[in-house]
Structure 1
Amino acid sequence: MVQGSAAGKMDNGRVLLIPAVSDQKGRTSIMGAKRRACFFILLAAALWGVVGIFVRRLSAAGFSAMQIVAIRIAVPAIADTLFLLAADRSSLCVRLRDCYLFVLTGVCSFALFNWCYFNAIEASSLGVAAILLYTAPAIVNVLSVWVFRERLTLRKGIAVAATFLGCVLVTGVGAETRLSVRGIVFGLGSGVGYALYTVFSKLALKKYSSRTVTVYTFLFAAAAAIPLAGFDGKALALFAQPSVLLLSLGIGSLCCLFPYLFYAIGLSQIEAGTAAVMSMLEPVVAALLGIFLYQEAFDIRKAAGIVLIVAAVAAQRPRSEKQTSARS
């Protein structure tokens, strides 16, 4: 009789390897869950990448940058809360002592990085602000080693470096770019805030579902962002225009509610560092939209940046044990 954990029950003298089959199914199920998680992260990044379309049109309508941020946050906060009140009230139930988690995800990361980002744009340029924002994957990977005991592998390190270099190339920042201490401070603040969103969300997802984490993040972020937006009578009057309402719903749902929900779903299944790198597909989508919709310049530098980012993101795909052992 065969001994060990791989042996199952005897049937007419044959050994049925039931546990081994079960283990194989379990590994297959885990791989499937990780692949789905990666799909959700990439889908979130793609939706974040289209935000520029809505920002351009809302800006042309007369809204300031911070007002657009407030709209982007307030719309999903209201819509998702109303939906859950009607369809799934249990997702709104949280312990009072856990509210600090949503202060961290909503105020200390989500609202913070948006506020810092737009101040960085004003103090320097869009390109510099974007580059400093995309220091986030490096920060996430360093923090994840300490907070979640994740391994900072050579593959991850190379991927982080490749995505950062790719972002530099895609945004077109050069030696002539205007820099200032204020712009750099706010830019790094946006990168830290962006990174902290991934870390704090991962902590919150240990206690609550992705729906709960997402809706309370929006509510706390909206409470912080709306007072900073400076909505006056002129800005509020713009909402009387049907086009502005549609654009507000679009930026709130397509560029905030759905991508952050998808990101939370994916983040619950894969490492924070991996998720942060994969989310860097966002500038690729934004760059391609700029090229095809707004006839922005496309040169070899931008092409190289896109290739670098896509290659780094592709390298983060989950591998089976056979693939891992073959590479080691």
Structure 2
Amino acid sequence: MDLSTRYLGLNLRNPLVASASPLSKTVDGVRRLADAGVGAVVLYSLFEEQVRREARQNARLAEAGTDSFAESLSYFPEGTGVDHGPRRYLSLLERAAEAVAIPVIGSINASTPGSWAGYARSIQDCGAAAVELNVYLLPGDAHLSGRDVEQRHLDILARVKDAVTIPVAVKLSPYFSATADMARRLDLAGADGLVLFNRFLQPDIDTETLAVAPGILLSRAAEVRLPLTWITLLHGRIGASLAATTGVEGPVELIKYLLGGADVVMTASALLRHGPDYAAVLLDGLRHWMSRKGYAAINDFRGLLAVPIGTDEAAHERVNYVSALRQANSGDYGPW
């Protein structure tokens, strides 16, 4: 049985990808994920805030050294308080890429164009097979227009694409006024892949302490529907690879995404909830289903339930919407 697939122009042994999470913060963690069978690993993210902090600290040290020996400007001694987060990240990436035979993808979590070119190039030089741009931007500024938000994504992509030769994927939020158009524009701008979707981590309110309570909730299977909607609509309509993420709890969600047209399916929540070895359970479930259905390879059924090319997409979704309401009005609310 052939589970192989292509993502970002890379040949993967199967379509299950471990997305960025604490599981990939160590070389041992990356190795455990690879041993469990995943097709690729996205390293935990290097955050824009870390890069900014290091740049500020380096600038202060350089300024402080202007009255010292010239040689002191070429290095930063240990114990000076410099944030070595980005350097640790690059070291981990280099060691992880050497430790496993599957692709290791570097991840940058950004909200502004910034000075990403140098870091993206360093990620490439350390052995990353690709770069994932995790654009996490909640546009709470009432003066920031939708077009400005879209342009910021394109600007971040342009900075990184100019700096590297390895593939670049963009991880998007689902909350664009015209998601398909944004996908098309990123595709035309050179994105090698789109990851659908990022999850905004909405805060809660603690009514006893009267405080905002930020926290992370692992995704559940019901959340598969939003990314699945757009995967089925974009399959075959853009050249960029499509990675589905969010809501993968078991083999069923993995299979649904592939039927919708995803090139790969990413998960963090299922692996965090059940452990890295759960990857084998997901892949075994996929193999068993393929055997029952008579499919010998992923390409035999990928995109089977995508929206057909030539369909009026808006009319198609409207029909689904009306059908769902009629079903609900008849008292059939589906499984609880």
TM-score (norm 1): 0.30
Higher relative contact order (CA 8 A, sep 6+): 1
TM-score (norm 2): 0.29
Which of the two has greater strand per residue? Answer: 2
